[in-house]
Amino acid sequence: MSTFGVVDFSILLPRNYENLKSDLATRIRVKQKPVATGDSEIFNLIESGITSVLNRAGINRDQISYLLVGGAGIFDRSFWSAASAIQSSSHLNNARVLDYQNGCLSFITGMTLAQGLMRSLENEFALIVCADRLSKMVDPLNPEHWSIASFADSVGIYLVGKQNVRYEFLKADWATRGEFSENLYWDPSKNQLILKDDVEEDRRLGEAYRHNYLKWLSTIATYQRLKLNQIERIFMNQGDHHLIAYLTDALNLPVDKIFRTHEDHGHLGANDCFYGLQTFEQKQSLLPGDYFITAASSIGFSWGAALWKKTL
């Protein structure tokens, strides 16, 4: 069976950073976060990121068979195809496009979608773009928004295929607990984020976070008959230091096994995991043959993980 995975990628952040108030920064351990000035900055980053990734990989634009654009769909426009706009502006004329919303799980689910779509294609490639303006939902003056104060803006460009794969995509899975679907959502009629005020539901949601992250981190490695001590690093999309401390203790992990970038960049949505990988590779490169895990959660709520192997 052909190897499938990420050929090249780039995570891009807006230039402007917003500093969090000192008391809030201390409480959630996030000092600052990137914030886009508008949709135009995000789409400029997408265009430059696609160009840079394709040029590095030596891939022509007409070799891109699919363009998948995912995230939480937080843009100024609605009832609109971001994927179609990107196809046009980036001249990906042969690409079939797909918009999908799976929040912060969008990269993991996007890989699963692309793998299925490209099952019979050997010499072509797909682009997964994960982009959002999560910061747009946050009112920094509203104490009720402190739990999401780390929400930041980012763009992830992922070139995937079966040739020259740098990170092999081995296995992914996730689960959804739909009873929490009304816990958090954007109300366009009020132009604001609604956070349900229900102490008991919040308690159960917290339990679900701990249970599901523990479940997927414990089981995803077994696909390759691996144990967690054979996994080089874990890259999560959750900057909750209480959750990370719980998982580290419950799974008996070294304190640095779960790599962290949230303090200086906040929560980058679906791009957290590979931003962590990008940062780690700049400091201390993984070696070919090393295994790693990406784990993420998503609005709705869903939790899942993917197992990877560095190949190049």
Q: Which residue has the tokens 């995000």?
A: 42
Structure confidence by residue, pLDDT tens digits, 195-248: 888 999 999 999 999 999 999 999 999 999 999 999 999 999 877 888 999 999
* Strand blocks (E) in 135-260: 153-161, 167-176, 184-187, 192-195, 231-236, 258-259
Can you tell me whether residue 82 is helix, strand or coil? Answer: helix
Same domain, 237 and 142: no
Residue 100 and residue 23 share a domain: yes
Residue 191: give the domain boundaries: 168-310
Q: What is the mean pLDDT of the chain?
A: 93
Q: Which of 120, 147, 165 is the last residue of a domain?
A: 165
Q: Is 186 a residue whose pLDDT tops 80?
A: yes
**Whole-number Å distance between alpha carbons of 159 and 8:** 5
Q: State residue 188's pLDDT score.
A: 80
Say if residue 12 is in the same domain as residue 118.
yes
> How many structural domains comprise the chain?
2
**How far does Cα 127 stand from its chain's mean position?**
15
Sheet holding 5-12, edge to edge: 96-101, 64-71, 125-133, 153-161, 5-12, 167-176, 302-310, 291-298, 231-236, 258-259
Max CA-CA distance within the chain? 54
**pLDDT tens-digit series, residues 63-119:** 999 999 999 888 888 889 999 999 999 999 999 999 999 999 999 999 999 999 999
Query: Is there a single domain that holds both residue 71 and residue 93?
Result: yes
Same domain, 161 and 172: no
pTM score: 0.96
* pLDDT for residue 283: 87
Residue type, 194: I
Residue 41 has pLDDT above 90, yes or no: yes
235 in the same domain as 129: no
